[in-house]
Structure 1
Amino acid sequence: MAVSNESSESSKPPAPNATTSTSKLETKKSQLTINIIADDLPYEEELIRNPFSVKHWLRYIEHKKSCIKEELELPLEKRKFSDKDLHYLYERALLQMPMSYKLWSQYLKLRLLAMKDSCLASPAAESVNNTFERCLVFMHRMPRIWLLYLQFLMDQQKITRTRKTFDRALCALPITQHDRVWDLYLKFVMMHDIPETAVRVWRRYLKLKPEDTEDYINYLVAQGRLQEAARQYEWCVNTDAFASKYGKSKYQLWSELCDLLSNNPEETSLHNAEAIMRHGLQRYVDQTGRLWNCLAQYYIKSALFERARDVYEEAMRSVMTVRDFTQVFDAYAQFEELLLSKQMEDAKLDDQLQQDDFNLRLARYEDLIERRALLLNSVMLRQNPHNVIEWQKRVSLYASKPKMVVTTYMEAVKTIDPKQAAGKLWQLWVDFACFYENNGQLKDARLILEKATQVAYVKVDDLASVWCEWAEMELRNDNEKQALQLLKRATAIPGARVDYHDESETVQRRLHKCLKLWSLYADLEESLGTFQSCKAVYDRIIDLRIATPQIIINYGMFLQENNYFEEAFKAYEKGIALFKWPYVYDIWNTYLTKFLERYKGSKIERARDLFEQCLEKCPAKYCKALYLLYANMEEQHGLARHALQVYSRATKSVPPDQKLELYNVYIQHASQLHGIAKTRAIYQEAIEELPDVGAREMCMRFAETERLLGEIDRAREIFVYASELCDPRVTKEFWDKWTDFEVQHGNEDTMRELLRIRRSLQAKYSTQINQMSAQMLSSAAAASTPAAAASADSMQALEARTAAAAPSAAAVTQPPGEARILFVRSDTSARDEEVAAAARVPNPEEINLDDEEEEEEEEDLPQPKAVPSEVFAGLK
């Protein structure tokens, strides 16, 4: 051992010229030999001068370490120093400065290093323990010293001494440094099979850090101390300030507690296990299915099967969601199946008692399966007791039990709030009444419907449906008068009239304006009542201003069937006064049709006034049929010129998409009345009014008409005019028809003229397409450059020069000295769209042709065979 506290140190300095010297230090109690070499003398002298300087002692120690390190390379018999010399030096230093943490720390680490390969049960280990004890007399506030000592004791497997040392460390250190000790302390108690000690240590630790309770619970579960684990879980879930270090929610902790209790009822043996689980059911109403299953499992593990069955039944009567119900029902069914299978394995079926028990259990299982739909319906009704559809499903489930059907209906109508009803509440009341009707209890059905008419429905239509169903029930039972009396009572006007759309008023006070009720009333009066009563119903509908166009038409048809024609026409006129376009269209159409059927041509002037009154405000979309009816009347009963005037007005009033059809009708009737020659003006008017597509078709028909009349020149001029509207690459049909015309009636010159016009138009349209493409490209380029405005101006100037230089179509196609039929057109947008759709970039050689090239190209083209015409005599 190094120099003890009781030893004193004395030395004689060696001679100056000696390389080594040995001096013996003698103490009163023991003798220690210290080897001092010449290199040690400077350090010894410094220590004599400054015995309390840590720096000098550390330099001396480092010097000794280097000497010992050098001698490690020598054989063992030649070594002069050992580790003990270094220990003695530390002892000397600590005698002078026992409060130096650095010296103690280095000394203890050196002693621990020396014990690395030694047996921990040897006396040397006890010597190190004593050194630690001496150190702690001065360094008891240093946690690192305690940790080194505690770890060394743990390595020695001295359990009791280690536990007591841990306690001493906790007593000696301030509480702010206890964390460092507790980590090692918990590791120590869990290393050894000392559960009682570990539990006590954990309890002490949790007073400092209760957030680590989950780790304690895991330890308890691993040790099988489940009762203590359950108590700790209970503390966690009941302490609001507790927060899981692993991020678990309170519900997860409840679930773990319930699983622990249900799977280990005997080991946990808590008297309040059921109370704990039921408390969780109250706190977590959206996760009750799993908790109910845990409670039932607790009783199953405890072999209390009847109590478990009661829990399952209670659960199915209280769960609020389909998911929870499914969990509970599946667990319940599985429980019954296990009981059945277990009894089938163990019981002797020849025993009558066992047989009866088995039959009882089987009946319970079958009853459970049969009740599933009804139990699920109960869950849905607990979610929303105002769900009409679910109540109707519940009634259907009790279809074979009349008493339960009545009970369900009564419970439903008492439970459902009309303001919150989801579904048709009136249908539930009607079904209730129909149930009594189907069982021959008509009086009870009337009582139910009487109560149904007093319900505060949200919509007037619901109350009207109840009255209508009541009336139909009376009709099914051959009580026609009773049905009429019901509808008369339902449509009675209250004392003070109210607005139908005023929702602050009850539906009973607004019922008298419900059209659904009045429509049924009118139908019943037509079928069962008198003429006067039915007429009075229709008049009241019109007076209340709730009539629809169909009601007006029905009223008029009813009056006509009873030969009250003028009354019918008055009814139509009342309807016309009530409605605006386009709702009044059906009334006008019916009125005019019936008027013409009745009077034909006897009241032509009145009919004309009606048509004029109708067409005065008629939108263009609806006037076509009315104009045709008007013109047909003039043809049959009036004047032909009036009919043509009507057709002419119609062509100007209808939308553009209907003009072509009407012009065809106009021309057809004009040719029938005045001959085909009188249609020229109509053709010219149509060509001016119609868009390009319609104008082309009309031009071809006009040309065909002139050809039939023998006016070949006029027909040719029409083809020439129409060619302005026809791009040769798009309208191939037109050019083929013109070519056929020239083959039949033209000559070589007219065919050459056709080809020239065709080429010029093709070049014209191609040029327009090129200009449009160039303009689009330049616009796109201008948009991406700062000089966009200047480029746009230059493009506009280019377009203006092009338009000025381009020859007019009239100059190209006008033969000199020949009479022409002139047409004026302003709308060319449609033609430009067609040209753009068929656009292609032509070859410049096809555009810029001089006269000689045109003649050569004409010679190269295939020339159709010209047949001389008998009526053509050459150019004028």
Structure 2
Amino acid sequence: MYEDVNNAHERALVFMHKMPRIWIDYCKLLVDQIKLTRTRRTFDRALRALPITQHYRVWPLYLKFVKKYPMHETAVRVHRRMLKLQPEDSEDYVEYLISIGRLDEACVKLAQLVNDEHFISKRGKSNHALWHELCTLISRNPDKVHSLNVEAIIRGGLKRFTDQLGQLWCALADYYTRSGLFERARDIYEEAIETVTTVRDFTQIFDAYAQFEETVISSKMEQMTNNPSEDPEEDDLDIELRLARFEHLMDRRPLLLNSVLLRQNPHNVLEWLKRVELFKDQPREIINTYTEAIQTIDVKKSVGKMNNLWVSFAKFYETNDQIEDSRTIFNKATLVLYKAVDDLASVWCEWAEMEIRHENYDAAMVLMKRATALPSKRAGFFDNTEPVQNRVYRSIKLWSMYADLEESFGTLKTCKAVYNKILDLRIATPQIIINYGMFLEENNYFEDAFKAYERGVALFKWPNVYDIWNTYLSKFINRYGGKKLERTRDLFEQALDGCPAKYAKHLYLLYAKLEEDYGLSRHAMAVYERATSAVLPEQKHELFNIYLRRAAEIYGVTHTRPIYEKAIEVLPDEHARDFSLRFADLERKLGEIDRARAIYAHCSQMCDPRTSANFWDAWKSFEVKHGNEDTVREMLRIKRSVQATYNTQVNYMSAQMLATAGNLTGTTSDLTPDGNLENDGMKLLEQKAASQAAARANADDMKPNKGILFVRSDKPPMESEINQAQNPDEIDIDDDSEPEEEMAVIQRKVVPDEVFGGMKKDED
């Protein structure tokens, strides 16, 4: 029956040979019958009969059929035919070749794909990915790939794909390793290490190189163990040679890494200095490294300070007792066009320090004089258009060292000349001025020292001039004391003129100390008073404390009252409270009870009872000891008033609103701020309501009497605790309780009808 079906297809194809559906069904039927040759020929007939535009429907079935059976040559030929019309399926062809072990042809085809710029991978692979796949394939199968020049291919990739140099170099070395050419592989690793420019590639290659050496050593030792040779000494020598080579590789790693970093940036001064340290036991290599670095580095592109390299080079000769060579290096270093003036100044200073270390003090001063000499063409210190050699004469580093040398080894005249030259060039710093003044003072030229301070004061402004003024004034007072008091006062006034508040405190205290020791007490007090206004706000309370203490010592405590008053007025609340308590305590000790009470009352306005309990406790203790019932009541009234001022709770605001409404309608509210009923809680409002009721009663005298007797209370007054105290003037009272008023006289009053409305009948 299969044959009948086959014959039916054959007869149908006589007239329908252009219809792909018939061919596809016929080929599928033959595939199921496992008639290999007949099926292959039928596929070929279908491809010849159908137009090219219909071939894409046949090729998948054909390829599936040829891959189904071990007909590798047939399958390869079918793939080749298909790729002539569908080259985009080349990747499938390569995969099939790899699967059947025909790697040489697979690598050739893959190389063609990599070189084809118009090839677009159906699987989204980039040209770089295909290249990497090719390199991996040929490097791992050197015995199966013969049609390609592997080294040429990989080296071509090294030029094209510079971001994957590590992988490509390792692939090339791996190719020779698998080929058994170990020496050639070692040469490839060495070449790779000497050419890569990134640390990542270097690390990858070096690790592969080290692993390669370990593998070679372990395989050799395993071979010696399994198959001992006739000459064991030669084997041992071979092993020692391989171990020595491996150790040498590991020892070279820091130097190789440094070479990579220098290839990455040959103008890196720090890396050159590190390279010198790596050659610490090889003087000839050190000299070669310094020479190469100096010739290689471009100063304008340098990373780091070029002067450090020159100085290090000169110190190397110095440590080897070659002083003349060191001087030669320093002399060349002074001619280099550095980026900054400070670099050249550092070279001069290092040269002078070298001469000092070898006790050539005169030579060091000659060097400093030469370095600070005025050039033929002067330029500004920050004029970058001029070379540093024309600007170094204004370097304060050079002049400072020159001045130190003159102080140590020169004469007074030459040292003064150096300092005066610094001042003439207007490059001095406050420290230079102070050093100059102290040098003159040590040589007993006191007036010259004060002139130097005056020149320094004229050069600088605040805040830089603070140190000069501080030193100047201190030295002047120590020198003359009160002999030139008016001149000292003028100096202080000059220093304080325009002095910022940040630096005023010390100068004012020094000024006041001068007046106390050599001047007038009232002048000292005036200085203290000025200081309290001139210093920073956070320093004022400290100045007031000093002011009060000195005033009490000089004039007595009674003269501190205006000081206390001013302190309370100008200081913030937290410090004003403290001064108020001290002021009140002072008045209490002096017996001025009323003045102390007034101070407490004034301070109470800035003391919230919830946060300043210590103040109210102090006032309460004061009233208990020195007050009476009226003063206690007044204190509590003030406390309630202050509490109402600071209180922001809803119940207090509600009580105030109710009280206001009661005033408007002729009624009063007995609600206290705490929300409790209290007979005497709001005495003033009750009095006002009573007066309004009396006015209405007078207006309604003509009406019948419909009054109700209003009484305050039938409760007897509480017994006072005054009798229980040992001191009859001392009262122990609680904040929450008040002394009750005396029993009020019962009076009969008339209440208008409008108060009750329709609640009562007339006869009631």
TM-score by length of 1: 0.74
The residue aligned with 2:259 is 378
2:435 aligned with 1:558, yes or no? no
Residue matched to 2:460: 579
Q: CA deviation at 1:681?
A: 2.2
Matched, 1:499 2:380: yes
- 1:868 Cα offset (Å): 5.2
Deviation at 1:153, TM superposition (A): 2.4
State how 1:145-544 maps to structure 2 within 5 Å: 145-347=22-224, 348=228, 351-544=232-425
The Cα of 1:169 is off from its aligned counterpart by: 2.2
3-state SS of paired residue (2:502): coil
User: Aligned in 2, Cα 1:338/1:658: closer, same or farther, shift over 3 Å?
Assistant: closer
- Cα distance between partner residues in 1 of 2:243 and 2:549: 89
**What is the alpha-carbon distance in structure 2 between the residues aligned to residue 458 and residue 133 of structure 1?**
93
Higher mean alpha-carbon deviation, 259-268 vs 156-165, is at 156-165
Q: Does the 8 A contact of 1:744 with 1:868 survive in 2?
A: no
Cα offset, 1:769, TM superposition: 5.6
Q: Does 1:651 align with 2:532?
A: yes
Asked whether the equivalents of residues 745 and 868 of structure 1 are also in contact (C-alpha less than 8 Å), the reply is: no
Aligned-residue offset at 1:527: 1.2
Q: Is the 8 A contact 2:344 2:388 kept in 1?
A: yes
Give the match for residue 844 of structure 1.
Answer: 675
Q: 1:553–1:310: structure 2 CA closer, same or farther, 3 Å change rule? A: same
**In the alignment, what sits opposite 1:17?**
none
Stretch of structure 1 that moved more, 685-694 or 282-291 = 685-694
AA at the equivalent of 1:611: F
Taking the aligned partners of 1:698 and 1:305, their CA distance within structure 2 comes to 93
Q: Could you tell me how far 1:672 is from its partner in structure 2?
A: 2.3
Deviation at 1:367, TM superposition (A): 1.2
Q: Unaligned 5+ residue runs, structure 2? A: 665-671, 687-711, 731-764
Cα distance 1:773–1:272, how it changes in 2: closer, same or farther (>3 A)? Answer: farther
Which structure's CA Rg is the greater one? 1
CA distance in structure 1 between the partners assigned to 2:717 and 2:9 by the alignment: 126
Cα offset, 1:505, TM superposition = 1.9
How far apart, CA to CA, are the structure 2 residues paired with 1:687 and 1:358? Answer: 94
Question: How big is the shift at 1:352?
Answer: 2.9
C-alpha distance in 2 between matches for 1:527 and 1:520? 11
CA distance in 2, matches of 1:471, 1:219: 78
1:81 matched residue in structure 2: none
Contact preservation (8 Å) 2:608, 2:643: yes
Could you give the per-residue CA deviations for residues 702-735 of structure 1, whole angstroms, max 9, x where no partner exists?
2222222222222222222222222222222222
**1:140 Cα deviation (Å)?**
2.2
Does the C-alpha gap of structure 1 residues 633 and 365 become closer, same or farther in structure 2, counting only changes over 3 Å?
Answer: same
**In 1, Cα distance between the equivalents of 2:459 and 2:534?**
25
Contact 2:505 2:535 survives alignment (8 Å): yes
Q: Name the SS of the counterpart of 1:845 in structure 2.
A: coil
CA distance in 2, matches of 1:271, 1:237: 13
Is the Cα–Cα contact under 8 Å of residues 746 and 867 in structure 1 kept in the other structure? no
The 8 Å contact of residues 746 and 866 in structure 1, kept in 2 or not, is answered as no
Instruction: Give 1:414 deviation, angstroms.
Output: 1.6
From 711, 727, 745, the equivalent of 1:867 is 727
Partner Cα distance (1:710, 1:744) in 2: 12
Match of 1:670 in 2: 551
Q: Structure 2: how far apart are the matches of 1:773 and 1:551?
A: 68
2:651–2:673 contact (8 Å) kept in structure 1: no
Counterpart Cα distance in 2 of 1:379 and 1:564: 62
The 5 A counterparts of 1:691-702 are 691-702=572-583
CA distance in 2, matches of 1:262, 1:467: 59
Alignment partner, residue 719 of structure 1 = 600
Q: Give the Cα separation in 2 of the matches to 1:391 and 1:209.
A: 58
3-state SS, counterpart of residue 728 of structure 1:
coil
Deviations 1:512-567 (A, max 9, x none): 22222222222122112222222222222222222221221112112211222222
1:243 to partner: Cα distance: 2.1
Written as runs of structure 1 = structure 2, the 5 A alignment for 1:569-648 is 569-648=450-529
RMSD of aligned C-alpha atoms? 2.9
Deviation digits for residues 382-418 of structure 1 (CA, Å, limit 9, x no counterpart): 2222222222222111111111111111112222222
Deviations 1:832-853 (A, max 9, x none): xxxxxxxxx9623389923399
Q: How far did 1:747 drift?
A: 3.8
Cα separation, 1, equivalents of 2:535 and 2:651: 37
Q: Which residue of 1 aligns with 2:427?
A: 546
Map 1:733-744; keep pairs closer than 5 Å: 733-744=614-625
For residue 577 of structure 1, give the secondary structure of its aligned residue in structure 2.
Answer: helix
Q: Which aligned pairs between 1:814-825 and structure 2 lie closer than 5 A?
A: none
CA distance in 2, matches of 1:368, 1:760: 91
1:682 aligned to which of 560, 563, 567: 563
1:133 and 2:10 aligned? yes
Q: Post-superposition shift, 1:226?
A: 0.8
Contact 1:743/1:866, CA 8 A, preserved across alignment: no
**Structure-1 separation of matches of 2:139 and 2:344:** 55
- How many Å separate the matches in 2 of 1:309 and 1:261? 19
Asked whether the equivalents of residues 422 and 428 of structure 2 are also in contact (C-alpha less than 8 Å), the reply is yes
Aligned mates of 2:303, 2:673 — CA distance in 1? 71
Q: Which amino acid aligns with 1:533?
A: T
SS at match of 1:266: coil
Q: Conserved in 2, the CA contact under 8 Å of 1:146 and 1:169?
A: yes
**Distance (whole Å) between structure 2 residues aligned to residue 461 and residue 573 of structure 1:** 29
Equivalent AA in structure 2 for residue 532 of structure 1: K
- The residue correspondences of 1:53-68 to structure 2 (distance < 5 A) are none
Separation of aligned partners in 2, 1:603 and 1:424: 53
TM-score by length of 2: 0.84
Instruction: Give the letter for the 2:4 counterpart.
Output: S
Q: 1:359–1:676: structure 2 CA closer, same or farther, 3 Å change rule?
A: closer
Aligned residue type for 2:627: G
Rounded Cα–Cα distance in structure 2 between residues aligned with 1:858 and 1:175: 127
Gaps of 5+ in 1: 1-123, 775-794, 806-840, 871-876
Provide the C-alpha distance between the structure 1 equivalents of 2:390 and 2:717, rounded to a whole number of angstroms.
Answer: 90
Are residues 618 and 728 of structure 1, via their aligned partners in 2, closer, same or farther at CA, if it must alter by over 3 Å? same
Q: Give the partner amino acid of 1:330.
A: D
Aligned position for 1:74: none
